[in-house]
Chain A
Amino acid sequence: MNAPIIGVTPSGGDNDLGVRAYAIAADYTMAVQRAGGIPVILPLHITEIDALLDTLDGVLFSGGGDIDPGIFNQETHETTGGIDAERDTFEIALMRAAFARDMPILAICRGIQVMNVERGGDLVQDIPSQTDSTKKHNQRAEGAGEHDIFQQAVLDDGENPVAKALGSGEIQINSFHHQALGTVPDSLKVVARGDDGIIEAVYAPDATFALGTQWHPERLAAQHAEQQALFDGFVTAAKDYANR
């Protein structure tokens, strides 16, 4: 049996020659690789989404800049930045098509926000000015390293793919975001929150495996087995998908 192949979405931006380039942190691909998957990086210009998904067994939505708030019918907040129309279009179409064929989905940071918006929810564009939260959500600004644990969240009891990897109760996570989920559609279930109420994880009960985390498990997975277990569960689901 061949290893499952996992498509990973990259960021887009101009390189130092002024040419548009796609880039992805190796932390993502290494976490997939440790789980036994073959990670490949998906160019954001692809428009033939179904032909692309025909070649894959799972999709990983990575972190990045903010989603255009016009997509969830909001005016752009002054702190919203890094909007990439090509990436928004590609990832929303990819999310929709992956759900439509029940392909396993792991959605990280911006990814959980794409999942929520595509399923019909919206976002808090700026946590400090638009919520009561006084917690810090950019750990680098607080002097923590990019591969360090920074804060905690509380995970629901019960049957859900996040708890399956991390156990229930208090979990140790990191934090690198200024936006968060706002309204969550009925098709997604919130399973983890910080003590400030910020949503840290959701999953789709009607899908075989579709979950999102607001934190970055790929930056912890090399050191923390429970974070790697999220990727292990995802790649196992992709293997099962390939055998369907």
Chain B
Amino acid sequence: MKPLIGLTPTPELLNMPHGTFRRHTLSDHYSRAIAAAGGIPVMLPSNFDDADAMLDRLDGVVITGGGDINPAEYEQDQHPKTDEIDSERDAFEQMVLKSAIARDMPILGICRGLQMFNVGLGGTLYQDVEDLKPDPAEHRQQSLGVHAEERFHSVTIAPGEHPLKEIADNGTMEVNSFHHQGIDKLASDLQAIATAEDGLVEAVWHPGISWGMAVQWHPELLAHKYDEHAAIFRSLVEASEKHHESEVNS
């Protein structure tokens, strides 16, 4: 059986001619990247209240990109640029993160997902990199007119045993970038495995589980044309296959 990979969605409230509906929504790039890597992608309803029952039926999970995490989660007051807070989504993704780690299920975080890894495990964020981080580089390529599916800056890959070390040819990767928040204090359970030239953490690895990684960039937008980004999804799918086999055999 192919591994079943759950993707967290973006909740939205939509006014339509036939009514106002709360909806679960997600761009197709994420699921296409998982399918291309050999997994079966499904989107998860973010108002589901029993992550354990849900993860019992999955082999891997992805926490996707989206709006900002409520800064109350890391005990800060809200910065004026912090936006699109959705407490239901925050709670759901925290549950998924903790349940996945507790059962050693492979988990990938993307953009907001990386921030959720860090906040969920006790770290903090710069609520606005431009305003709050010393000597920030530009992390919003759209402000310079660079297309989302093009690479924008390089990151330096840390030594050690983690998937990016195997994926990156010469210790660097070229990535895209569209975020205004970023990791400030790194959670003690996480290792920084990629950094931008301004020192911002661009990827983390959880050494306490078999496969737990998060990236600040959006590999799902690059995977169809840059193989090193497709390789991130292949690594997740491969780890999820192993997880599935170990569950079946246990």
Contacts and interface: CB of A to CB of B under 8 A. Distances in A.
Interface of A: 2-3, 5, 7, 10, 12, 15, 17, 19-27, 29-30, 33, 38-46, 48, 51-52, 54-55, 138-141, 145-147, 176, 219
Nearest to A55: B4
Shortest Cβ-Cβ A-B pairs, 3 listed: A146-B19, A43-B31, A41-B43
30 contacts: A2-B57, A10-B24, A19-B28, A19-B29, A22-B31, A23-B23, A23-B24, A23-B25, A24-B23, A25-B22, A25-B23, A26-B22, A27-B21, A27-B22, A29-B24, A30-B45, A30-B47, A38-B54, A39-B48, A41-B24, A41-B42, A43-B43, A44-B28, A45-B31, A52-B40, A55-B1, A55-B42, A138-B18, A147-B19, A219-B19
B23 A55 contact: no
B179 to A, nearest CB: 15
A26 B28 contact: no
B26 interface: yes
A153 B4 CA distance: 40
Question: Among A3, A17, A26, A27, which residue has the most Cβ atoms of chain B within 10 A?
Answer: A26
B48 A29 contact: yes
A85 to B, nearest CB: 14
Contacts of B44: 40-41
Contacts of A12: 28
B219 interface: no
A2 B12 contact: no
Contacts of B42: 7, 40-43, 55
B57 A41 contact: no
A135 to B, nearest CB: 16
B28 A22 contact: yes
Contacts of A138: 18
Nearest to B10: A21
B2 A51 contact: yes
Nearest to A36: B53
Contacts of A219: 19
A38 B53 contact: yes
A140 B18 CA distance: 5
Given A2-B57, A43-B31, 9 more contacts: A3-B53, A3-B56, A21-B27, A22-B31, A25-B22, A40-B43, A40-B44, A41-B9, A41-B44
Question: Among A30, A55, A147, which residue has the most Cβ atoms of chain B within 10 A?
Answer: A55
Contacts of B120: none
A43 B28 contact: yes
A17 B10 CA distance: 14
Contact of A22 (B2, B17, B25): B25
B45 A140 contact: no
A54 B3 CA distance: 10
A30 B2 CA distance: 27
A7 B41 CA distance: 11
A147 B19 CA distance: 9
B35 interface: yes
A26 B47 contact: yes
Contacts of B41: 43, 46
Contacts of A43: 28, 31-32, 35, 41-43
Contact of B1 (A24, A26, A45, A54): A54
Contacts of B12: 23
Contacts of B246: none
Contacts of B53: 2-3, 38
A33 B27 contact: no
A27 B29 CA distance: 25
Contacts of A45: 28, 31-32, 35
Nearest to A145: B19
Contact of A26 (B2, B17, B31, B45): B45
A118 B181 CA distance: 48
Nearest to B49: A33
A228 B151 CA distance: 49
Nearest to A19: B27
A129 B140 CA distance: 52
Interface in B44-92: 44-45, 47-49, 53-54, 56-57
Contacts of B20: 146
Contacts of A54: 1-2
A20 B27 contact: yes
Contacts of A40: 6, 42-45, 57
A47 to B, nearest CB: 8
A147 B26 CA distance: 25
B250 to A, nearest CB: 14
